[in-house]
Amino acid sequence: MIHDTTPGALADGPALLALMQLSDTALPIGRHAHALGLERLLRDGRVPDDRRLRQVVVSALMQGGARCDGAAASLAHQALISGDLARLLAIDARLDCLKLTDAAQAASRRCGRRLAGLAPSLSRDAVLADYAGAIAAGCSPGHLAVISAATSAACGVSRPAAVLMELRGIVTMILSAAVRLDILPAAASQAMLAGFAPEILAASRIALATALDEMECSAAAVIETAAMRHARDYGRLFAT
């Protein structure tokens, strides 16, 4: 066995550990309590097989996340690195305007507020603390993509990695819901997740190249409509 003992072998260790922690499903922010309308699509018979499930995920990534939450994450990372609190607040406000449904807006805010509560214990960055304070005071919506990327930047995670984490999170949220809804087995979901690598990378490239005034609301109409209908269902396994 070869052991790498060269100086700097673990130079990226702290940032990688932070990335792992922020992307861990054990992070108590409730992200995986949501299903992006998948539960309603299942009830409507719109997800009869793995092929249709894959279409839902790709749509959520390419027509939804890339120029919305993904772009917000990219811009928020830059703002934190620049020490620009006003820019962070502007990105958060912009993303708030682009959430088409009450359910999507509430879910993003709820998870974001929970992460904002944890952020000061993850990094002592002053701008991050001020932003988390603005969220706690109700002065900023606190959307998850923004606070997550800002926290990532404060912890030394690179901007591309922060964007990849955000967009991969969309995929894992849907696939986690699919497992609990018995659409596919857990083992199969992992194989499917690995197969989404090209789409996650493609969506990340779009996000990294999107400016603030180029951010767009989701164009995944079927998913957005399903999420709105899901909010009116009496019996639900997932939050709205």
pTM for the complete prediction?
A: 0.89
Chain segment 10-64, per-residue pLDDT in tens: 788 999 999 999 999 889 998 776 676 788 888 888 888 899 999 999 999 999 8
Other C-beta atoms closer than 10 Å to the C-beta of 184 total: 17
Q: Are 66 and 141 in contact (CB under 8 A)?
A: no
The ranges of the chain with pLDDT < 50 are 1, 239-240
Query: Sign of the CA dihedral 145, 148, 154, 159?
Result: negative
Assess contact for 122 and 18: CB atoms under 8 A: yes
- For residue 102, give every residue at least 6 positions away whose Cβ sits within 8 Å of its Cβ, in sequence order, or none: 228, 231
CATH number of the structural domain 34-230: 1.10.4190.10
